[in-house]
A and B are shown apart, each in its own frame.
Chain A
Amino acid sequence: MQTKGNVVLHVADVQKHFGGLHALADIDLQVDEGKTHAIIGPNGAGKSTLLNVIIGRLAPSSGAVVFDGTVLTGKKPHEINQLGVARVFQTPEIFADLSVLQNVMTPAFARRDGAFRINMFRSVDNERGIREEAEHTLEDVGLMDRRAVHAGALSRGDKRRLELAMCLIQKPRLLLLDEPTAGMSRHDTNTTIELLKKIKSRGMTKVIIEHDMHVVFSLADKISVLAGGRIIAEGLPDQVRGDPRVQEAYLGGVH
């Protein structure tokens, strides 16, 4: 399974069955380094299944996922993260009982100290470096003024921004975003697009699953269209926009 020069993520011939249901069939996906790759498709197309296979939450029935020359298949979520892959969930997964600042500091410790280290005789208050980095990241996403608040008390849009900050502070090589604007108002959606455009310049590779075409065409360098568990079209945004198969899939074609 040779990955080409600048392909950072390779989903190679992945199949996924749930009993008799073929959720994913013959998926072959290559994501180029530094690019934003969007995966779109109608409901039930297998987008979330694909993302769960990439992140190690689901094991593929066959095939493999290769990240930067390392096979991710069979690795645990924390091992995959330690290789440099971070994920934003569809429903924000944050530490509701901790303060916003602590939410962002925690992932920074994972990056600095690794998957397990008993760091018992230092005070969090004395971890100035991590704290400053967290504050800097919070400024980036516009949550600095809410840093002392319990994360559970944030609005839905702010929770998403917080989760994004928790991923960004790790400076991952690959960031997976599962519908980062689902359930957001138009205003919050636009803020999030601006934010994602801002971090695009940092050379981070992103895979984004999205329903909202406005978001997709604002951000994506390349688009793969998933329908019925297969990739039915792939290419630059303009190519995909005009593709009749895509129109058909979205307008309720038979799959």
Chain B
Amino acid sequence: MAGIMSRKDATLFIGFAAVVLLLPILAAPFGAAYPDLLQRFMIFGIFAIGFNILFGLTGYLSFGHAAFFGVGSYAAMWSFKLLSLNAIPAILFAVAIAGVFALVIGYLSLRRSGIYFSILTLAFAQMCYSLAYSVLTPITNGETGLRMIRADPRVLDRLFSEAPAGVPVPSLFGISLSGWNGFYFSALFLLATFFLAMRITNSPFGMMLKGIKSNQNRMNYTGFNTRPYALTAFVISGMLAGLAGSLLVVTDPLAGAERMQWTASGEVVLMTILGGVGTLVGPVIGAWLIKYFENIFSSFNDNVLSSFFGFLPDGAREAAVVVAGKFVGEGWHLSLGLLFVLIVVFLPGGIMEGVRRISSAIRRRGGGRHATARGELSPSAAE
């Protein structure tokens, strides 16, 4: 790895890989160690990393990335229906179709910047949503959602075997992808995505993208044609969204239009900002945190709270349960909103900024002289 990766990067990658692969053990104390949720951690980690390649590096804030996620889901589903239950062709097909969508939408949206760019991407995503929800019902099956049925043609599979007896499920060359297999399958894609993001961030190409974010005018007068650079970042990021969308169909074989709604586009923005825009690890942490809130906080009910506050005297316990009850269960969005506000107000650089501050405080206390001077670039591994 020495040729393409610095030692610092290799350490970061190995550390990240270790955390991801050991998640079934590490997440257990938080009650999150079940394959369905951890697989979502992987999938939305990919989505957020991809989104950050556009937003974090070039500064272009897309408000329509759910469109590519949804397109990936539908494309993968059609591959399962028409070609094969094998996940590999489905993923390749989904990434390619999402790439085509990203090329067209990106080409048009990147003619504007700032808020106009964001509004254009939002408009395109809402168009995709309404196509999926009503106009293209024969392809998307409208609000019911698209699923596999036994009678699907699956031409490649039929060449080798008869139709399966039960409900068809995606597999990898005959290996089932349900449960933990599905998690590890998605985890490999997350690691590959992380590796790609790391390569881009440290490459001259990544430096050009950061230049676009910092001062597009200077980039132009320095001799760069900035639009194809931004478009390349847009397409890569759209393809990764498509990859995430296809992996979600592998776990949960139902593709619905709600995945393309603007709230889903907003969610990936939140994930990235929460974790740390422009950092490598931040978007993944943001994605995990939001999916954790969505799945764990929303499942808390009054009984859980009551036992949590069991140490309080009777009257106080009920009051605590009533107040805390507003923030869990159906109200989990409230806790997430509160957390988001706190992070943005006190740590504008997201959770990764918090990590950086803590580690530099420790270094200052430990080494004394190693503290970086004002304005110096902090040598954080996540940069």
A residues in contact (CB < 8 Å) with B: 55, 76-78, 81-82, 86-87, 89, 93-99, 102, 105-107, 109-111, 113-127, 148-150, 153, 166, 170
Given contacts A78-B225, A122-B4, A149-B375, 18 further A-B contacts (CB under 8 A): A55-B221, A76-B225, A81-B221, A94-B215, A98-B210, A106-B222, A107-B223, A109-B207, A110-B224, A113-B204, A115-B224, A118-B232, A121-B199, A123-B199, A124-B204, A127-B204, A149-B377, A153-B375
Nearest-Cβ distance from residue B381 to partner chain A, whole angstroms: 14
A150 touches B221 (CB 8 A): no
A121 touches B4 (CB 8 A): yes
Q: Determine if B299 is an interface residue (Cβ-Cβ < 8 Å).
A: no
A111 to B228, CA, bound (A): 17
Which residues in chain B, 327-372, are within 8 Å of chain A measured between CB atoms? Answer: none
Q: Determine if B208 is an interface residue (Cβ-Cβ < 8 Å).
A: yes
Q: Determine if B173 is an interface residue (Cβ-Cβ < 8 Å).
A: no
Q: Determine if B176 is an interface residue (Cβ-Cβ < 8 Å).
A: no
For B307, what are the chain A residues with a Cβ–Cβ distance below 8 Å? none
Residue of B nearest to A81 (CB): B223
Nearest-Cβ distance from residue A134 to partner chain B, whole angstroms: 12
Nearest-Cβ distance from residue B223 to partner chain A, whole angstroms: 4
Interface residues on B, range: 35 or more
Which residues in chain B, 186-223, are within 8 Å of chain A measured between CB atoms? Answer: 199-200, 202-208, 210-211, 213-215, 217-223
Q: Determine if B374 is an interface residue (Cβ-Cβ < 8 Å).
A: yes
Residue of A nearest to B200 (CB): A120
Q: Determine if B6 is an interface residue (Cβ-Cβ < 8 Å).
A: yes
A96 to B210, CA, bound (A): 11
A78 to B229, CA, bound (A): 13
With A78-B225, A125-B6 as given contacts, are A109 and B218 in contact (CB-CB < 8 Å)?
Answer: no
With A95-B211, A96-B215, A98-B210 as given contacts, are A118 and B224 in contact (CB-CB < 8 Å)?
Answer: no
Residue of B nearest to A127 (CB): B204
Q: Give the one of B226, B232, B375 with max A CB within 10 A.
A: B375
A107 to B222, CA, bound (A): 6
For B5, what are the chain A residues with a Cβ–Cβ distance below 8 Å? 123
B221 touches A153 (CB 8 A): no
For B162, what are the chain A residues with a Cβ–Cβ distance below 8 Å? none
Nearest-Cβ distance from residue B364 to partner chain A, whole angstroms: 18
Q: Determine if B314 is an interface residue (Cβ-Cβ < 8 Å).
A: no
Lowest 6 A-B CB distances belong to which pairs? A153-B375, A81-B223, A110-B223, A95-B214, A115-B225, A119-B204
Nearest-Cβ distance from residue A169 to partner chain B, whole angstroms: 10
A114 to B202, CA, bound (A): 19
Residue of B nearest to A77 (CB): B220
Nearest-Cβ distance from residue B352 to partner chain A, whole angstroms: 16
B208 touches A109 (CB 8 A): yes
A109 to B204, CA, bound (A): 8
B204 touches A93 (CB 8 A): no
A8 to B57, CA, bound (A): 38
For B220, what are the chain A residues with a Cβ–Cβ distance below 8 Å? 76-78, 81
Nearest-Cβ distance from residue A115 to partner chain B, whole angstroms: 4
B223 touches A115 (CB 8 A): yes
A107 to B218, CA, bound (A): 10
A106 to B218, CA, bound (A): 10
Out of A77, A121, A122, name the residue touching B221 (CB < 8 Å).
A77
For A125, what are the chain B residues with a Cβ–Cβ distance below 8 Å? 6, 202
B218 touches A93 (CB 8 A): yes
A106 to B221, CA, bound (A): 12
Nearest-Cβ distance from residue B203 to partner chain A, whole angstroms: 5
Residue of B nearest to A146 (CB): B375
For B229, what are the chain A residues with a Cβ–Cβ distance below 8 Å? 116
A78 to B218, CA, bound (A): 10
Q: Give the one of B204, B207, B220, B226 with max A CB within 10 A.
A: B204
A98 to B211, CA, bound (A): 8
A106 touches B207 (CB 8 A): yes
Residue of A nearest to B227 (CB): A116
Nearest-Cβ distance from residue B2 to partner chain A, whole angstroms: 10
A105 to B374, CA, bound (A): 23
A149 to B377, CA, bound (A): 6
Residue of A nearest to B372 (CB): A148
B211 touches A123 (CB 8 A): no
B222 touches A94 (CB 8 A): no
A178 to B215, CA, bound (A): 18
A148 touches B221 (CB 8 A): no
A120 touches B199 (CB 8 A): yes
A1 to B116, CA, bound (A): 42
A86 to B207, CA, bound (A): 20
Nearest-Cβ distance from residue A82 to partner chain B, whole angstroms: 5
Nearest-Cβ distance from residue B9 to partner chain A, whole angstroms: 8
Pairs A–B under 8 Å by Cβ, sample size 16: A76-B220, A78-B222, A81-B221, A82-B223, A95-B215, A105-B207, A107-B223, A110-B224, A113-B204, A116-B224, A119-B204, A120-B200, A124-B203, A125-B202, A126-B4, A153-B375
B208 touches A106 (CB 8 A): yes
For B204, what are the chain A residues with a Cβ–Cβ distance below 8 Å? 109, 113, 119, 122, 124, 127
B203 touches A166 (CB 8 A): no
A117 to B215, CA, bound (A): 19
A35 to B374, CA, bound (A): 41
A94 touches B223 (CB 8 A): no
